Amino acid sequence: MSDYYPAEISIGGPIHRRILGRLIKKIVAEGASLHGYGEPAATKEALRAAFQDGQIVRIYDDRAHNGEFRALEAFLVRQRIHFDRHSDASCEYNAENVYYRGGDCPLVMVSDQGGNILYRHEDLTAILEHESLNDHDKVAALRKLLNPPERAPLQPIHFVKE
């Protein structure tokens, strides 16, 4: 069974100018908006202008299939284009945040409806009660859990050459 619920994706960081046309086609195929939930779908012209602006481009869909932009996200990962996605909770699915900064795969983290990351008590306790870690190593492990490199702030779009 398929569910449709709100999701937004923010695109930023380095992009090869040669793939901009294909990226815009992928976004148009999603039928998502540049202006918020419930707004008309973005046009190629509006998207091209948004990308040329040199800011982070935000795309909204109030009825995203499973709260994802599956084809667009796969394209972004193949092209190593940075993005963040937040999907609302629906039925048995938790809200989630997805972060991608050019590595092998995106980092998916459970969140609340407001996008605040939720951490499992068991994960925190396992670090704090780990007997072979000293306090310094426990703090380092907690920092890595709470702020992995994939959660670095998304940078504005900038076009790069091959």
Is the full-model pTM beyond 0.85? yes
Mean pLDDT per block of 10 residues along the chain (162 residues) reads 84 96 96 92 96 95 91 97 92 87 92 87 94 94 89 95 75
Q: What is the CA radius of gyration of the chain?
A: 18
Closest CA to 5 of 99, 85, 118, 101: 85
